[in-house]
């Protein structure tokens, strides 16, 4: 089904020369490919048309999984299959090492799906990535998709459509809801990125806004934020100063009480900071349209895009 959908998207007549970070030339290695989650989502990625060129499970090199050759290390996968992007389905105690292995092997993009990686482990990862060219998406994220070209992670392919709206989200499930709305109102997507809901993640809203700002085929961006931290406020400042494309935002967790974690490790109001109303105020003060009704976000983006034309 997914493969047929991918071929359909490639035939709709839209210019598919649009996306950031991943495209049809991306060659993926799946770390943890022989596990239940890794094998299932490898199959989904292959069905979508993603070039999954290799898998890695230490001790199982020389085998195959879902028709994909398995290696003991990412370095071997690079040497034998020329992979440039990794997708990680490794249990939390070993996921940080998997990220650092991918970075050491020179992966352009690292997508870590794993939830529950200890914060201290991610501090070490962040230090390594500071001196690396690798871009980490996640952890605790659904990954990235360039509709009609490739998907790396667990996003459902059929709801996406190639187009000109970039999506950056801290929430996986809300990403799917918003993308479905965009597709239904006729707004395709250039690239959709789930940056992850943990307190320590690899890339921020600003990191991806910079890339969308430079991409001539991305005409507008949807930001899906949530309570906790200050990422949305920082994004608002960046957009006001440096981003001239239309942006629509939604903040999840508007009814969350202080001190209670809501879903994600990073979604907690603490020390009087991270409240939804503060984020909404910062975004609106920067001239960004904030959708207060999630059910109308697709229509809201359609209206904003229409005004910008």
Answer yes or no: are the C-beta atoms of 225 and 162 closer than 8 Å.
no
Largest CA distance in the chain: 57
Answer yes or no: are the C-beta atoms of 150 and 23 closer than 8 Å.
yes
Q: How far apart are CA 146 and CA 95, in angstroms?
A: 25
- Residue from 231, 212, 88 nearest 170 by CA: 231
281-255-266 Cα angle (round to 5): 80
Q: How far apart are CA 57 and CA 54, in angstroms?
A: 10
Catalytic pick from 160, 164, 219, 264? Answer: 264
- Residue from 65, 86, 52 nearest 73 by CA: 86
Q: Is the peptide bond between 139 and the residue preceding it cis, with omega within 30 degrees of 0?
A: yes
For residue 208, indicate whether it is catalytic: no
The residues annotated with a catalytic role in the active site are: 264
């Amino acid at each position: 089904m997914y493969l047929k959908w991918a071929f359909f998207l490639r035939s709709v007549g839209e210019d598919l020369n649009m996306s950031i970070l991943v495209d049809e030339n991306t060659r993926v290695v799946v770390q943890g490919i022989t596990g239940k989650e890794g094998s299932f989502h490898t199959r989904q990625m292959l069905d979508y048309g993603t070039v999954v060129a290799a898998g890695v499970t230490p001790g199982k090199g020389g085998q195959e999984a879902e028709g994909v050759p398995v290696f003991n290390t990412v370095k071997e996968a690079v040497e034998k299959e020329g992979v440039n992007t990794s997708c990680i389905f490794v249990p939390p105690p070993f996921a940080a090492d998997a990220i650092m292995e991918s970075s050491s092997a020179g992966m352009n993009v690292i997508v870590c799906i794993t939830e529950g990686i200890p914060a201290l482990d991610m501090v070490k990862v962040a230090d390594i990535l500071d001196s690396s060219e690798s871009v980490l998406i996640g952890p605790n994220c659904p990954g990235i998709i360039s509709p009609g070209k490739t998907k790396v992670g667990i996003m459902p392919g059929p709801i996406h459509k190639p187009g000109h709206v970039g999506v950056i989200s801290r929430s996986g499930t809300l990403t799917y809801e918003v993308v479905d709305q965009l597709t239904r109102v006729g707004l395709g997507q250039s690239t959709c990125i789930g940056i992850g809901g943990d307190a320590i993640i690899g890339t921020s809203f600003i990191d991806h806004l910079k890339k969308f700002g430079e991409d001539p085929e991305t005409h507008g961006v949807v930001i899906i934020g949530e309570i906790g931290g200050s990422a949305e406020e920082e994004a608002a400042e960046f957009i006001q100063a440096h981003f001239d494309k239309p942006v629509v935002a939604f903040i999840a967790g508007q009814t969350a009480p202080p001190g209670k974690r809501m879903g994600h490790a990073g979604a907690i109001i603490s020390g009087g900071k991270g409240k939804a109303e503060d984020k909404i105020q910062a975004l609106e003060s920067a001239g960004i349209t904030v959708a207060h009704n999630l059910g109308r976000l697709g229509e809201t983006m359609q209206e904003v895009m229409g005004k910008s034309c």
